[in-house]
Structure 1
Amino acid sequence: MAPRFGTSGLRGLVTELTPELVAAHVGAFLRACPQGTGLFIGRDLRPSSPALAQVVAETARRAGVPVTDCGAVPTPALALAAMGAGAGAVMVTGSHIPADRNGLKFYLPTGEITKADEAAILAALDHPMPPAPEPAPLSRDTTAGAAWVRRSVTAFGADALAGLRVGVWSHSAVSRDLMIAALRALGCAAVVELGRSEEFIPVDTEAVPEGARRQIADWIAEHRLDALVSTDGDGDRPLLADAEGRVIPGDLLGQITAAAVGAEVVVTPVSSNSGVEAGGRFRRVIRTRIGSPFVIAGMEAAPGRTVGYEANGGFLLGFEARLAGPLPPLPTRDSLLPILAPLSRARAAGGLAALVGREPDRFTASDRLEEVPAERARALVAGLAAQPEPLAAFLAPLGEVPGPTDLTDGLRVTCASGRILHVRPSGNAPELRLYVEAENPDAAGSLLARGLAVLGQALVKMPPA
């Protein structure tokens, strides 16, 4: 995967993320975007992240920008600390992709960069920052992670999770120790750490493999857990499983959390569960393209008690909510809030499964075909969208008949049965993603498996590039 700059910042193979390339993009960011009081830097637990973070720091200091090194911290914790200090930020992470790849996420003092900022950064690549007369200072901040935890503990209260037995699938998530600390501070009867790894494990909370799902169910049964939680590698996407070992889709976590914080307006991509409209709980629902910059743009256009979330579960809070205590806004993808909000409501509902059962009967599932070149994925989707006949032929083996289509981001078709299939090339990895929605979890799972198989066959039949 050649390095690529876009919605998730800069990403690519570690072998191709050379110091020169990283320095060029950081320099362009510093030239094109405001940094306020300086630049905060964080990183995930990939083997390559410390060295890349050092390149980022040296580039900023040479440009005369003071640097605060926050070390290994979750992305939302870094963003919270930087915004609180009125500073920009760079997070060194490849998120959920494998360890042979990595990347950078860029933040303004006000939060994530926008699509306009992306264009400005790309334009600035040809105009490097002039060096400062002497390097700017370097300081360290070891409090960012604790502040992220404290924000939620203050909001939910020390007994919010009293009596619950919760497992934490730690794997190699940079958020793992902080998740454990938060659960204990919120009164859990037991917090059981599981699956800790010193080697990096890519975990995509939006596409949890069947083997991982079986392991989660086994852990829950073995330790008699009420729930199991985890995140992706950089801690901005949540994973939450109920007492039966079922992983709750991220968009359902978003719906539940939006209601819990008292949102009036919800901004979410076209791939998210349509139950957010069916529930009738929100004054307005705004649909966007996939990617947090599009969600943030939608939130900025609808101020007030506005939240955003994605199908991966990352939740953006655009206003100060009040639960047991105040919950300050954090308009960037966060994993902790959409885990704690459902857990805090589970006891009164009779468990997580019962809480999810109160949501409208629309169920989503998603997965992807990996190692699909972007050009090939885009060509397949364009072919399906071009004329009715190819789409009808694609749906026929699935027993579905096409209905209305939506080309906001990829191809989303609402079938005559009411089921939904959404095919989309990934914006930051060589993957072809499939999102489905159906009337029950089994139907969604079956449709997803069959849909992926048909997509795979279609790719094989395509002529060579």
Structure 2
Amino acid sequence: MTSRTDLSQFVKAYDVRGLVPQQLDARVARAIGSAFARVVALPDGADGIVVGHDMRPSSPELSRAFADGAAQHGLDVTLIGLCSTDGLYFASGHLGLPGAMFTASHNPAAYNGIKLCRAGARPVGQDSGLAEIRDLAQADLDGEAHDTRTEAAPTATGTVREQDLLRDYAAFLRGLVDLSRPRRSRPIRVVVDAGNGMGGLTVPAVLGDAAGLPALPLEVVPLYFELDGTFPNHEANPLEPANLVDLQRAVVEQGADLGLAFDGDADRCFAVDEQGRAISPSAVTGLIVERETRRAVAAGAEPAELTFVHNVITSRAVPELIAELGARAVRTRVGHSYIKAQMAEHGAVFGGEHSAHYYFQDFWFADTGMLAAMYLLAALGEQDDVVSALVARYDRYRASGEINSTVADQAGRTDQVRRWAGERGLRVDELDGLTATHEADGDGRTWWVNVRPSNTEPLLRLNVEASDQETMEQVRDEVLAIIRGEA
């Protein structure tokens, strides 16, 4: 007798992420596909779904099993094969169908996972269907009776067919940002590190001519474009500085204008400047905010009509810039389901996160690293200056980056930070964890600190930002000592 599969161990707040085959195998994928049909697709009135997958060795089998599970409820399934996560979001929006993307994003090779969405790339998270999908799939796996709320199974099984949407995806993005006529005196040379992930498929299609589109005036220097879910060169997680080293070295050696790094499923994009220095995702967010504002105003909109979304640990420079442009900033919790919900609620033009997730109204309010990269390339192509000079005006503060500490009593340590903030008369809010802010006074220094507990691990996450490096380090060390019980 096989041991019981416990879906609660790897069906997380936003997606499914588990070890293969110990947790996630074809049997589990089929059960989740069946539950997805009954919880999301059928109640939403969909007659089909779309399914894509990344380059991990287990992805084709798992995605096909999921498709079979959904098809048994009469849904027609469109398999789009290898794609990035934003390629799946494009398919969901373009076809008007709920979707499933098989990927474990930046996780190591031993993992795989599933990202789910409703038609139009609307997110499915813990509070919007994922918990019900988990429970229904668990009941199926345990051999319990099916959910009595669902209708009887249809007499006919749905069809499963294949469709290639890569060219349509590339053409759609090119229609949003025109890179064909730069004013720069020479072509942009850009090094791209795909990390053996899906950027190796999408970058040649969007920025090159691999999808049959006209060539662009770009010189792309590829790093690790071979699709390989075992990640033989480095993990496809550019958030870790060690995974940017190869890109940084190549940019300098090649005399490139820009470096871009994509994560495993290519929905996030990180950038480095001509000297190989990392460009803050908040600076990229600021650049896109300004470009989107200019574009909307040129089309007749008033700045006050425009809304932009950022999370609580995005640089303070972002809401400052939004205010200077006369637009409206909406601050939200960290996490794609929260920012997507705020994007849709406010009809926001664009949203950015510190983790290099970028969300666009023109892309069904979903995140796409490729489109953010295109905005950066377009800005660079409009002038002859180096990219470091281009983004400098959006990089106003010094940041610590996210620092994780293992803490058993998360609430207790957070309370100690709260008392520390109260003793200093800081402004405190608790939208997401605890944020304490010091406004510039006689010392001329502005800084803020955010402490957030992890949802899945005994960790406290610390972020600090200040108007100067010395203050940032001082506040960082002081709060870190409290968090780690060293104060």
Calculate the TM-score normalised by the size of structure 1. Answer: 0.82
Superposed, 1:180-199 pairs within 5 Å as 180-184=204-208, 187-196=216-225, 198=228, 199=230
Change over 3 Å in CA distance of 1:354–1:94 after alignment to 2? same
How far apart are the structure 2 equivalents of 1:52 and 1:339?
30
Structure 1 residue matching 2:279: 3-state secondary structure: coil
Q: Quote the residue 1:42 is aligned against.
A: 52
Shift of 1:98: 1.8
Identity among equivalent pairs (%): 23
Q: Quote the residue 2:325 is aligned against.
A: 281
Shift of 1:186: 6.5
- Give the alignment partner of residue 133 of structure 1, picking from 138, 155, 160: 155
Q: Quote the residue 1:342 is aligned against.
A: 376
Change over 3 Å in CA distance of 1:74–1:404 after alignment to 2? same
Shift of 1:282: 4.7
Q: Quote the residue 2:367 is aligned against.
A: 333
* Letter paired with 1:16: Q
User: Is residue 425 of structure 1 aligned with residue 435 of structure 2?
Assistant: no
* Letter paired with 1:343: L
Shift of 1:272: 1.1
Shift of 1:334: 0.6
* Letter paired with 2:199: S
How far apart are the structure 1 equivalents of 2:318 and 2:397?
9
**Does the Cα contact within 8 Å between 1:156 and 1:186 map onto a contact in 2?**
no
Superposed, 1:21-60 pairs within 5 Å as 21-34=28-41, 36-60=46-70
* Letter paired with 2:41: P
Q: Quote the residue 2:442 is aligned against.
A: none
Shift of 1:388: 5.1
How far apart are the structure 2 equivalents of 1:203 and 1:192?
18
How far apart are the structure 2 equivalents of 1:389 and 1:38?
50
Shift of 1:428: 5.9
How far apart are the structure 1 equivalents of 2:171 and 2:352?
22
Gaps of 5+ in 2: 1-6, 140-145, 209-213, 297-305, 440-444
How far apart are the structure 2 equivalents of 1:452 and 1:204?
27
Structure 1 residue matching 2:250: 3-state secondary structure: helix
* Letter paired with 1:27: S
* Letter paired with 1:137: T
Change over 3 Å in CA distance of 1:431–1:240 after alignment to 2? farther
Superposed, 1:227-376 pairs within 5 Å as 227-262=258-293, 264-279=306-321, 280-303=324-347, 306-318=349-361, 328-348=362-382, 350-359=385-394, 361-369=396-404, 376=407
User: Is residue 118 of structure 1 aligned with residue 140 of structure 2?
Assistant: no
User: Is residue 174 of structure 1 aligned with residue 195 of structure 2?
Assistant: no
Change over 3 Å in CA distance of 1:116–1:156 after alignment to 2? closer
**Does the Cα contact within 8 Å between 2:67 and 2:77 map onto a contact in 1?**
yes
**Does the Cα contact within 8 Å between 1:308 and 1:316 map onto a contact in 2?**
yes
Structure 2 residue matching 1:193: 3-state secondary structure: strand
**Does the Cα contact within 8 Å between 1:366 and 1:433 map onto a contact in 2?**
no
User: Is residue 109 of structure 1 aligned with residue 143 of structure 2?
Assistant: no
**Does the Cα contact within 8 Å between 1:384 and 1:391 map onto a contact in 2?**
no
Shift of 1:451: 8.0
Structure 2 residue matching 1:239: 3-state secondary structure: strand
**Does the Cα contact within 8 Å between 1:11 and 1:428 map onto a contact in 2?**
no
Change over 3 Å in CA distance of 1:113–1:388 after alignment to 2? closer
How far apart are the structure 1 equivalents of 2:40 and 2:419?
44
Moved more, 151-160 or 270-279: 151-160
User: Is residue 202 of structure 1 aligned with residue 231 of structure 2?
Assistant: no
Superposed, 1:151-166 pairs within 5 Å as 151-157=172-178, 158-160=180-182, 163-166=187-190
User: Is residue 91 of structure 1 aligned with residue 83 of structure 2?
Assistant: no
- The Cα offsets for residues 387-417 of structure 1, whole Å up to 9 and x where unpaired, read as 4576469x9xxxxx68233322223332575
How far apart are the structure 1 equivalents of 2:215 and 2:309?
29
How far apart are the structure 2 equivalents of 1:96 and 1:193?
19
Change over 3 Å in CA distance of 1:426–1:82 after alignment to 2? same
Gaps of 5+ in 1: 319-327, 396-400
* Letter paired with 2:273: D
Moved more, 225-234 or 43-52: 43-52
Shift of 1:222: 0.7
Shift of 1:123: 5.9
User: Is residue 412 of structure 1 aligned with residue 471 of structure 2?
Assistant: no
Query: What RMSD, in angstroms, separates the aligned Cα atoms of the two structures?
Result: 3.2
* Letter paired with 2:19: L
**Does the Cα contact within 8 Å between 2:333 and 2:432 map onto a contact in 1?**
yes
**Does the Cα contact within 8 Å between 1:107 and 1:113 map onto a contact in 2?**
yes
Shift of 1:60: 1.0
Larger radius of gyration: 2
Across the two proteins, how many residue pairs are aligned to each other? Answer: 434
- Give the alignment partner of residue 24 of structure 2, picking from 17, 20, 27: 17
- The Cα offsets for residues 340-395 of structure 1, whole Å up to 9 and x where unpaired, read as 1122112445122112112261344534548x5xxx56x32x223324576469x9
Change over 3 Å in CA distance of 1:429–1:357 after alignment to 2? same
How far apart are the structure 2 equivalents of 1:89 and 1:122?
16
Change over 3 Å in CA distance of 1:111–1:365 after alignment to 2? farther
Change over 3 Å in CA distance of 1:202–1:426 after alignment to 2? farther
How far apart are the structure 1 equivalents of 2:471 and 2:372?
22
* Letter paired with 2:342: G
Change over 3 Å in CA distance of 1:284–1:174 after alignment to 2? same
Q: Quote the residue 2:412 is aligned against.
A: 383
Change over 3 Å in CA distance of 1:2–1:37 after alignment to 2? closer
**Does the Cα contact within 8 Å between 1:229 and 1:241 map onto a contact in 2?**
yes
Change over 3 Å in CA distance of 1:108–1:421 after alignment to 2? same
